[in-house]
Amino acid sequence: MRQRRRLLVFLGVTAGLIAAGVLLAMLPATRKPSPAGTPAASALAQPTGTGTEVNLGGWRWADFHEVRLPYSASDGPHTVTGDRAYGFARSSAGALLAALHLGMRASPRWGPVVFEPTIAEQFTGSGRPTLLRAVRASYGNAGAAAGVAEGVPIGRAYVVE
């Protein structure tokens, strides 16, 4: 019971850190003046929303491994293929949806078939290898405690997003 509680706390903290990282990645890039004195072009499109309020109207909730996640026709995800979700709007709502979907899919709970490509292909930044190692280690520990074979999902999640 103590191990399970520790795992749940770890997963909650991990999901929160992932969500914060995704939200920080959505912030506009700092622009530095070019040598000619004009602003340099940003590599990413700037978010269209200027406020932090998110309108939940029109959102629908659908199952992802028995966890109900929100979906929005305007803010994403616009493409869901297997256990992967892509195409989030560059808006406050899109950032929130990306944090929820990618954070959930980066959980060790679903096994390496889900979390490894999600982290490797959809997370950015210098901390990505560290995150992947931490989630792999968490999966190994939780999988051993649950008695599941390597590569198999650990089991049902008891969460509400």
Domain chopping of the chain, boundaries? 2-27+55-146
Average pLDDT over residues 22-48: 41
Tokens of 61: 């909730």
Tokens of 81: 């293929």
Pick left, alpha or beta for residue 53 (phi over 0 → left; psi -120 to 50 → alpha; otherwise beta).
beta
User: What does the pLDDT look like over 117-160, one tens digit per residue?
Assistant: 999 999 999 999 999 999 999 999 999 999 999 999 998 887 76
Report the length, in residues, of the chain.
161
User: What does the pLDDT look like over 45-64, one tens digit per residue?
Assistant: 455 555 678 888 889 999 99
Tokens of 158: 């008891």
- CA–CA distance, 41 with 33 (Å, rounded to integer): 9
87 in helix, strand or coil? coil
User: What does the pLDDT look like over 13-23, one tens digit per residue?
Assistant: 455 545 444 44
